[in-house]
Amino acid sequence: MIMNSLDMALPADHPCPAVQSRLSPWLAPIMYGIGEKLVLPAYFSHIEITGQDNIPETGPVILAPTHQARWDSLLVGLLGKQAGRYLRFMVTADECLGIQGWFIRRLGGFPVHVRRPSVKTLRHGVQLLQEKEMMVIYPEGNIYKDGIHSLKPGLARIALRAERSRPNLDVKIVPISLEYSEPCPKWRGTAKVAIGKPICVSNYKAGEPKVRSRELTKDLQLALENLAS
């Protein structure tokens, strides 16, 4: 799955149908368990995770991983499970088609049109944070195998919009570096997951929104680069 950050502003008042996402009470535990106990151990010879304690067990959280392969989402899902939380994913609209889409929509995923993300999708992301869910947005916006690329501003905009919408909401952004023993993960290769300290969005709440959004994006980029170095 490729989850993409969103690159447009959030209009204050714009009537549009609501986007919905859900977690199946029977499917989510089964699929998370299969991923943790069967799929990941069968494919990778070793998975090293550092900084697991940096993932908050409660409150609104955005997990912001680097994006190198389709295995990333399974690894990030494992982190959520170990923290005792199920995840919500922003997923490209094409990924929500067919049988795969049936599963994704019942495992917390909801679609976004990458070239023209709709207001309703953006608002749903804000709503999930208001409901104190844990959401995944890949801030680079695509898969890159040659290091960390410039981050898109959509993640910061959603986080700041949510933080300003409720007093003391306390949105956290958790930078995560994902690395594999090969650029394209191979069977019995290894994976490294480094989880950084959460960034408190409330620290960027005051001031001009676009300026603060750029500052938050810059600080997230620096945190990801430090984790990967």
* 93 vs 77, residue with greater confidence: 77
| Mean pLDDT value across residues 84-90 | 92
Statement: residue 69 has pLDDT above 50: yes
Predicted pLDDT of residue 4: 42
Statement: residue 18 has pLDDT above 70: no
133-148 pLDDT, tens digit per residue, is 999 999 998 889 988 9
Tell me the pLDDT of the chain averaged across its residues: 88
144-203 pLDDT, tens digit per residue, is 998 899 998 889 999 999 999 999 999 999 999 999 999 999 999 999 999 999 999 999
Specify burial of residue 119 (Cβ count, 10 A radius: 0-12, 13-18, 19+).
middle
Cα 191 from Cα 72, distance rounded (Å): 10
Angle between helices 209-228 and 154-165 in degrees, nearest 10: 120
**Where do the domains of the chain lie?**
27-228
* Residue range 27-228 in CATH 1.10.357.10: no
